[in-house]
């Protein structure tokens, strides 16, 4: 099992787009002192304590004066991600994308394919092939990457992290538990800040301690994941690649499509946006994304966050639709149900789920959907902002 991870991916792409950023501290995520969070930080700026996930404001204070802050280029990242995948696919027929900057390959059975000399054992052969692969990604795309090779998927991921930057680490069969034992629990995918704190409370800080801990102390923390987490902490378990993320997956024969489509917006203090304007525009975005994917939504969930960070969600299941006006009506109802406190709102979000494939004939009978598709056609020609629902446009006098 091999995990290939592109190093500081967004920063690396930004440097391809603007070579003057090479060697400089770079922060991707937003303009300096603006709003947002860091999505990628170059190694130069990590030395100052800037990390992905940190607020742009805090990063702005920590970063040196010559640091460059860029908002990011999402379409370019997707394009480079796809090209990286094409290179990875040369090395194994079994590849899945785990995220935009991360791919897993199943290399079992490929040893004979890559063997160069009789002296090479399987590990040496695989290690050389993976080094060739990361070199190819660098040579052909100009992107640095790291890789981890191990008997299980999660250990391969951990190993790729240990190998960074621009390294390849192979954990030999039999060495799994010893490799993992000294690492902090947080290194294991699936253990986040909450689980880390709760483990600390029962005296567990390393993966070795987690493996040795009694079931009764882990169960309350991990629930259904307990045995999987413990197995992964020992380095055994998931030796299958598993499913591709639902967004990339085929739908099933009944027209059910996995996944959700969501959009949310945090209110800026200075903005005079009203909740109903934001709601309308979120509704249009979500519905138009559903239509462009050719799906109807059977569930809508509204998320409302107050300025004190208390978050309420209200959802409803209904006959599948992708019409703006229908979804908008439901969204307004949900908003009324959720908005019970007299406190300013920090964030509004909408998500559609229970997606199913839109049948071809349905729009002919459904005026709302037909109107929405006409709107999409206008937008295809003139841009997204060419047309909006009346209520999502600020009234001017």
205 is an interface residue for DNA by CB under 7 A: no
| Residues 302 and 350: beta-carbon distance below 8 Å | yes
Q: Give CA angle at 34 (277, 395), nearest 5°.
A: 20
Compute CA distances 370 → 204, 220, 380, 382, whole Å: 58, 50, 15, 19
359 is an interface residue for DNA by CB under 7 A: no
Compute the chain's Rg from CA coordinates.
24
85 is an interface residue for DNA by CB under 7 A: no
Residue 272, token pair as written in the block:
């005079």
284 is an interface residue for DNA by CB under 7 A: no
| Residues 291 and 327: beta-carbon distance below 8 Å | no
Kindly tell me which residue out of 309, 383, 390, 394 binds DNA, with binding defined by CB under 7 A: 309
Closest CA to 355 of 248, 277, 255: 255
Least distance from C-beta 289 to DNA, angstroms? 7
Site for DNA in 214-233 (CB under 7 A): 223-225
164 is an interface residue for DNA by CB under 7 A: no
d(Cα 31, Cα 25) in Å, to the nearest integer?
14
Q: x/- binding map, residues 250-269, to DNA, per CB under 7 A?
A: --------xxxxxxxxx---
Between 131 and 341, CB nearer to DNA? 341
332 is an interface residue for DNA by CB under 7 A: no
83 is an interface residue for DNA by CB under 7 A: no
Q: x/- binding map, residues 94-113, to DNA, per CB under 7 A?
A: ----xxxxx-----------
| Residues 204 and 213: beta-carbon distance below 8 Å | yes
d(Cα 171, Cα 155) in Å, to the nearest integer?
8
Between 262 and 276, CB nearer to DNA? 262
The H or E element spanning position 168 is strand 168-170
Compute CA distances 322 → 283, 370, 372, whole Å: 10, 10, 8
Closest CA to 256 of 355, 119, 370, 375: 355
Least distance from C-beta 20 to DNA, angstroms? 25
Instruction: Write down the residue that tokens 């559609």 correspond to.
Output: 352
244 is an interface residue for DNA by CB under 7 A: no
Q: How many CA atoms lie within 13 A of 189 on its CB side?
A: 14
Kindly tell me which residue out of 1, 11, 15, 39 binds DNA, with binding defined by CB under 7 A: 39
Annotated active-site residue in 14, 102, 284, 326: 102
49 is an interface residue for DNA by CB under 7 A: no
206 is an interface residue for DNA by CB under 7 A: no
Kindly tell me which residue out of 58, 76, 111, 138 binds DNA, with binding defined by CB under 7 A: 58
> Is 102 noted as a catalytic residue in this protein?
yes
Binding site for DNA (CB under 7 A): 35-37, 39, 53-55, 57-58, 98-102, 157, 188-196, 223-225, 243, 245-247, 258-266, 289, 299, 301, 309, 311-317, 337, 347, 349, 351, 354
State the catalytic residues: 102
């Amino acid at each position: 099992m091999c995990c290939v991870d592109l190093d500081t991916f967004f920063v690396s792409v930004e440097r391809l787009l603007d070579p003057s950023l090479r060697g400089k501290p770079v922060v991707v995520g937003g303009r300096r002192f603006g709003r947002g969070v860091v999505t990628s930080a170059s190694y130069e700026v990590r030395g100052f304590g800037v990390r992905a996930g940190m607020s742009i404001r805090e990063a702005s204070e920590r970063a040196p004066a010559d640091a460059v802050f860029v908002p990011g280029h999402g379409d370019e990242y997707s394009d480079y991600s796809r090209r990286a995948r094409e290179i990875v696919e040369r090395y194994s027929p079994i590849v899945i994308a785990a995220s935009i900057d991360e791919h897993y390959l199943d290399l079992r059975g490929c040893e004979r394919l890559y063997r160069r000399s009789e002296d090479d054992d399987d590990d040496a052969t695989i290690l050389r092939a993976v080094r060739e692969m990361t070199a190819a990604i660098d040579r052909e795309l100009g992107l640095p990457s790291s890789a981890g090779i191990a008997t299980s998927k999660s250990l391969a991921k951990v190993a790729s992290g240990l190998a960074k930057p621009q390294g390849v680490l192979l954990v030999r069969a039999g060495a799994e538990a010893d490799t993992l034992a000294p690492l902090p629990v947080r290194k294991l995918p699936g253990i986040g800040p909450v689980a880390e704190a709760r483990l600390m409370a029962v005296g567990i800080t390393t993966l070795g301690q987690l493996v040795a801990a009694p079931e009764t102390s882990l169960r309350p923390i991990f629930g259904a994941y307990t045995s999987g987490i413990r197995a992964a902490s020992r380095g055994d378990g998931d030796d299958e690649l598993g499913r591709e993320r639902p967004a990339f997956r085929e739908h099933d024969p009944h027209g059910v499509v996995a996944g959700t489509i969501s959009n949310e917006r945090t209110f800026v203090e200075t903005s005079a946006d009203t909740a109903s304007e934001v709601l309308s525009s979120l509704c249009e975005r979500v519905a138009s994304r559903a239509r462009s994917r050719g799906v109807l939504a059977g569930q809508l969930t509204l998320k409302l966050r107050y300025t004190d960070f208390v978050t309420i969600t209200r959802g409803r299941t209904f006959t599948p639709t992708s019409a703006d006006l229908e979804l908008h009506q439901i969204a307004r109802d949900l908003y009324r149900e959720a908005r019970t406190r007299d406190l300013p709102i920090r964030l509004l979000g909408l998500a559609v789920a229970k997606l199913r494939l839109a049948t071809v004939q349905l729009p002919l009978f459904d005026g709302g959907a037909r109107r929405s598709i006409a709107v999409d056609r206008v937008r295809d020609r003139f841009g997204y902002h060419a047309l909006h629902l009346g209520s999502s446009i600020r009234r001017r006098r």
